[in-house]
Amino acid sequence: YIYVALFWMLLLLGFCCGMVFGDQNRSDPHDQRVFPVLSINYDYVQMPFEVSLWILLASLMKLGFHLLPVLSGVVPESCLLIVVGLLVGGLIRVMGKNPPVLDSQLFFLCLLPPIILDAGYFLPIRPFTENAGTILTFAVLGTLWNVFFMGAVLYGACRLEAGRLASVDLLSCLLFGSIVSAVDPVAVLAVFEEIHINELLHILVFGESLLNDAVTVVLYHLFEEFAHAGEVTVGDVFLGVVCFFVVALGGVLVGGVYGVLAAFTSRFTSHTRVIEPLFVFLYSYMAYLSAEVFHLSGIMALIACGVVMRPYVEANISHKSYTTIKYFLKMWSSVSETLIFIFLGVSTVAGPHAWNWTFVSITIVLCLLSRVLGVVGLTYIINKYRMVKLSGKDQFIVAYGGLRGAIAFSLAFLLSSDDFPMKDMFLTAIITVIFFTVFVQGMTIRPLVDLLAVKKRKQSKCSINEEIHTQFLEHLLAGIEGVCGHYGHHHWRHKLNRFNKRYIKRCLIGGERSQEPQLISFYNKMELKQALMLLESNSSANLSAGVTARSRKTLNISKEREEEIRKILRGNLQKTRQRLCSYSRHTLKPDAEDDDWSETRLRKQRVEMERRMSHFLTVPALPESPPARRARVESGEPLRSDQGSSLTAVFEL
Amino acid sequence: MGASQSGPVYMFQDLAQKTGFSIEQIKNLHNRFMYLTQDEDTLRRKHLENISNLALNPIRRQIIEAFFDKRNMGEKGKGCLQEIGFEEFVTVLSFFRPPKPRTADEDMKNIKKEKLRFLFNMHDTDNDGIITLDEYRRVVEELLSSYETIGAETAKAISDAAMLEVASVTVGQMGPDEFYEGITFEQFMQILKDVEIETKMNIHFWNLDTRTMQCGK
């Protein structure tokens, strides 16, 4: 491991040299001109070169951490990345240059959207809607409480302190409060991703961090305007409240519109499968940018877009596009996150600092205090309306998981120095708070979770029984609510589902997939997964081991049948390897043989399943039916047509 | 109205103690019961079938049957009743009461077992203690019945796959001549142990639609 560490140090050094000397390369002025066989022209590629270098550094860092499992088990990745950023910043400074600061425009327009889109697209809808009330309460009321509590107490402290803090007025304190109290989705994701707590707590903290963006945006602009204008009237405050609703609902509306557009577009992409993922990304990014144009909440727009378009797009696009989207989103968001934390470290070294012990220490204490008070107070009210009450342990995790991150830093950086002469002090305080929450809270949350024995996330098996019963429960609960006359959660969800099925799905999903119930798609997906697993494991041509290990011992298949199947598999496998697919940039050739091969394979699997079932499952009454079924299977009767059609639908390429 | 309340009040208190609802909730449920039965004393199937909300529910037949199933009434009996009184109504609904906040783990396990038992009884229509392949097939068919284009074949395929999964998970190894009879209650509990029934199978019991009967509906 020492070699690995040495390697990274050398890499860092080399990287910093590249950054430093890159600027100093200028082509020679008109001297005695010999024909330049080899010349350096760094200016030409400077921008993309530096960007690529940074991204490369980030990715290599990520790689490095996972080679050192000891370290990544104790310290969350975000901490390590900040440390790396500090190192890089330090090295650059040592070499005499000023390290680059995290440019707010770069952050908000390039680094943040991938993370939010990834979060929104894969947002687990069911727990989110079930806890929507709680999440909204925490996001809106919790953040408001934090802002005003912090602002007021800070102002009082500044008054008492006198000296350098005397110039800080109430508005500045409130603005500072609004910047620093918002829980940051990037930091929360980075830390919570590694501790695997149960779904409920995860969605509570994470949902809150996403939705409080609307509040933060409104308050930030509000206080900034007030500071600029100088006069605050009651009418202005009232307008602020109206602004909040406009920002939040407007953002959601913009996102929804773009989501519907994306879903509608995806209906017609059956002939141009290659560019399908691009539509998803572009429409979402446009939603974000459009929302930002009007100062609406870009984050909420992005989330709304992802949530709205996902079910329809997934029904329309091919399997390969789905995989592409998934992996691209994960890749971009991962790189973004890494870059953000590294830049945070670098900016710490770079930025102008004005350290004030009182201010910083009070800020940290207040952050913790207001968060705890807010969570406890709100939970007391919320528990009156919740079915599953939040226990003390849950409240502790929610309070402790309120991490601050790069959004706070970037917002502070955007402040103009004229209106806010104490901007440097603010920046220093915010960075300290961020470091404190990420390092201290981030590192200790994992042992605390284990100590308090908080329920962890269950491994989700792909179980058709659970799916059947989840759906059954939904209908059952909707029915019981109907009997009781209670128009509750299930009733409205039932109505929404019906509306969705009857009108929306017909518009946005092309072809026969629009009529497919969720259970069928789930079942098809499961079959596909099993078939793919079998395909992968069958390259060693061992059939009985591949077929679901659970029933391995109980497989009772005739020897010649097995040999036959193995021969077919081997033959097809060779055929695939020999064929060199030429591909053009416009289409992925639909691989017709692939289609038939996998369909045949699935058919064989079906035959196997039939065989197994005829052994296990009682067919009631008639004694001659089991042998009759066996006979039918032996003769290799072609499968029923509609199953075949559903299979081909799944295998569209 | 005042004098005639003393009788029902005692009944309500008894019921509240037995089922765990609060007096307020029992009163609301009583009003709802009166509304459903149009002020008669007993609830019949046709009263439940008249509820418009249930009409579009794919599993309404099973929901209605569950109210008249003797196994849900706490006695050891089997079979179904033709009509039920308010007490049975509340007993069935108590299966959906959310557990109180400070319930011990042991009690939670019992509550989960009771709710799972309720679900099991809904599937096991012939009361023999086992969910056979046919019964399970019927469950899946009903779930898919609201989609007209799905044939019985697909429902069969899904229920077969599900039964196979249960067999693999719970029984594992079987000889070549053994048959898998059906899902027993223990196996049912085992396959659904990860679906947190005790937190999911609940509804809120306030805001009940208890308006008195107007002419028409």
Spell out the per-residue pLDDT of chain B, length 217, in tens.
444 445 566 777 877 777 777 888 888 888 888 888 888 888 788 877 887 777 777 788 888 888 887 777 766 667 777 788 888 888 888 888 877 767 777 888 888 888 888 888 888 877 787 888 788 888 877 877 766 666 667 777 777 777 777 777 776 655 555 566 777 888 888 888 777 777 778 877 765 555 543 333 3
User: Touching check for B153 and chain A: CB below 8 Å?
Assistant: yes
When pLDDT is cut at 50, 70 and 90, the band that residue A97 belongs to is confident
Both tokens of residue B33? Answer: 């019961």
When divided into structural domains, chain A yields a total of 3
Domain shared by A378 and A500, yes or no? no
pLDDT score for A302:
93
Q: Which residues, at least 6 apart from A540, have a Cβ–Cβ distance to it below 8 Å?
A: none
Check whether A631 has a pLDDT greater than 50: no
The C-alpha atoms of residue A387 and residue B103 are separated, in whole angstroms, by 13
CB B26 within 8 A of CB B16: yes
State residue A517's pLDDT score.
Answer: 67
Q: Which candidate from A463, A486, A554 shows the least CB-CB separation from B204?
A: A486
Provide, as residue numbers in chain B, all residues whose Cβ is less than 8 Å from the Cβ of A640.
Answer: 153
Cβ of B32 within 8 Å of Cβ of A642? The answer is no
A405 pLDDT more than 60: yes
d(CA A198, CA A202): 6
Name which residue leads in pLDDT, A154 or A14.
A154
Q: Cβ–Cβ of A464/B192 closer than 8 Å?
A: no
Q: Which of A417, A452, A487 is the last residue of a domain?
A: A452
Of A420, A452, A484, at which residue does a domain stop? A452
In a domain, residue A550? The reply is: yes
Identify all chain A residues contacting B96, using CB atoms and an 8 Å cutoff.
Answer: 477, 480
Check CB contact under 8 Å for A517 and B194: no
User: Do the domain assignments include residue A623?
Assistant: no
Answer whether B59 sits within 8 Å of A515, measured CB to CB: no
Q: Nearest-CA residue of chain B relative to A501?
A: B147
**Total residues belonging to chain A:** 653
Question: Which residue, chain included where needed, has tokens 């870009």?
Answer: A298
**Mean pLDDT, range A251-262, rounded to an integer:** 93
Task: Check residue A137 and report its DSSP letter.
Answer: I
Instruction: Match 């140090």 to its residue by tokens.
Output: A9
Looking at the DSSP bridge assignments, the partners of residue A617 are B180
The average pLDDT across A442-446 equals: 87
Mean pLDDT of A9-31: 60
Residues A441 and A472 grouped into a single domain: no
The mean per-residue pLDDT over the stretch A401-430 comes to 83
Domain assignment present for residue A82? The answer is no
- Kindly state whether residues A378 and A472 are assigned to the same domain: no
Candidate from A464, A553, A619 with C-beta closest to B162: A464
d(CA A58, CA A343): 10
Residues of B in contact with A550 (CB under 8 A): 168-169, 172
Residues A217 and A243 in one domain: yes
Interface with A, mutate which of B120, B124, B195 (most A CBs under 10 A): B195
Averaged pLDDT for residues A62-88: 81
Please give the residue that has the higher pLDDT: either A545 or A596. Answer: A596
On whether both A384 and A493 belong to a single domain, the answer is: no
- Say if residue A412 is in the same domain as residue A517: no
pLDDT of A268: 86
d(CA A447, CA A194): 12
Q: What is the CATH number of the domain that holds A132?
A: 1.20.1530.20
The residue among A419, A452, A485 that closes a domain is: A452
**What pLDDT, on the 0 to 100 scale, is given for residue A542?**
44
As a whole number of angstroms, the distance between CA A293 and CA A298 comes to 9
Q: Considering chain A, what is the average pLDDT of its residues?
A: 76
**CA-based nearest residue in chain A for residue B175:** A554
Q: Do A137 and A67 fall into the same domain?
A: no
Shortest Cα–Cα distance, B82 to chain A (Å): 18
- Please report the pLDDT score of residue A256 as a whole number: 93
A151 and A299: one domain?
yes
Question: Rounded distance, CA A358 to CA B62, Å?
Answer: 68
Mean pLDDT of A402-415: 86
Residues A484, A440 within the same domain: no
| pLDDT at residue A380 is higher than 50 | yes
- The more confidently predicted of residues A623 and A394 is A394
Residues of chain B contacting A613 with CB distance shorter than 8 Å: 160, 163-164
Residue A304 — pLDDT band, cuts 50, 70, 90? very high
Q: Is B132 on the interface with A (CB under 8 A)?
A: yes
What pLDDT, on the 0 to 100 scale, is given for residue A577? 44
Residue A606: band (very low, low, confident or very high) from pLDDT cuts 50, 70, 90 = low
- Inform me whether the C-beta atom of residue B152 falls under 8 Å from chain A C-beta atoms: no
- What is the distance between the alpha carbons of residues B33 and B36, in angstroms, rounded to a whole number? 5
Residue-number span of the structural domain to which A207 is assigned: 104-332+347-452
Residue of A24 and A547 predicted with greater confidence: A24
Distance from CA of B207 to the nearest CA of A (A): 6
Q: How far is A615 from chain B (nearest CA, A)?
A: 6
Question: What confidence score (pLDDT) does residue B112 get?
Answer: 85
Contact A184, A154 (CB under 8 A): no
**Does the pLDDT of residue A331 top 70, yes or no?**
yes
Looking at the fold, whether A468 and A448 belong to one and the same domain comes out as no
In terms of domains, do A288 and A437 share one? yes
Q: Are residues A223 and A286 in the same domain?
A: yes
Q: What is the pLDDT of residue B144?
A: 75
- Residue A179 makes CB contacts below 8 A (sequence gap 6+) with A216, A220, A408, A411, A412, A426, A430
Q: What is the pLDDT of residue A305?
A: 93
Q: Which of A70-74, A426-430, A488-492, A608-612 has the lowest mean pLDDT?
A: A608-612
User: Which two three-digit tokens encode residue A131?
Assistant: 């806890």
The reply to whether A602 falls in a domain is yes
Subunit contact A515:B149, Cβ cutoff 8 A? yes
pLDDT digits (tens, 9 = 90+) for A174-210: 888 888 888 888 888 888 888 888 888 889 998 999 8
What is the per-residue pLDDT for A610? Answer: 65
What local confidence, expressed as pLDDT, does residue B180 receive?
67
Check CB contact under 8 Å for B203 and A480. Answer: yes
For B60, name the nearest residue in chain A, comparing CA atoms only. Answer: A479
Min distance B7 CA to chain A CA atoms (Å): 24
- Please, are residues A472 and B135 in contact by the beta-carbon 8 Å criterion? no
Inside any domain, residue A582: yes
pLDDT at residue A422, as a whole number:
79
Predicted confidence band at A293 (pLDDT cuts at 50, 70, 90)? Answer: very high
pLDDT at A616 over 70: no
Q: Which is more confidently placed, B163 or A558?
A: B163
Q: Do A617 and B48 touch (CB under 8 A)?
A: no
Q: Which residue has the tokens 């603005």?
A: A175
Measured distance between the N- and C-terminal CA atoms of chain A, rounded to whole angstroms = 45
**What's the one-letter identity of residue A585?**
R
Task: Calculate what percentage of chain A has a pLDDT beyond 70.
Answer: 73
Q: Is residue A636 a part of any domain in this protein?
A: no
- pLDDT category at A306 given cuts 50, 70, 90 is very high
End-to-end CA distance of chain B: 25
- SS3 labels along B149-213: CCCHHHHHHHHHHHHHHHHHHHCCCCCCCCCECCECHHHHHHHCCCCCHHHHCCCCCCCCCCCCC
What is the C-alpha to C-alpha distance for residues A538 and B58, in angstroms, rounded to an integer? Answer: 41
**Would the pLDDT of A32 be above 50?**
yes
Domain assignment of residue A142, yes or no: yes
Interface check A554 vs B, CB under 8 A:
yes
Asked, for residue A361, whether it belongs to a domain, the answer is: yes
Of A485, A615, A642, the CB nearest to B153: A642
Hey, are the CB atoms on B179 and A553 less than 8 Å from each other? no
Residues 6+ apart with CB under 8 A from A653: A273, A318, A319, A320, A588, A590, A591, A594, A595
Comparing alpha-carbon positions, the chain A residue that sits nearest to B174 is: A554
Given pLDDT bands bounded at 50, 70 and 90, which one contains residue A2?
Answer: low
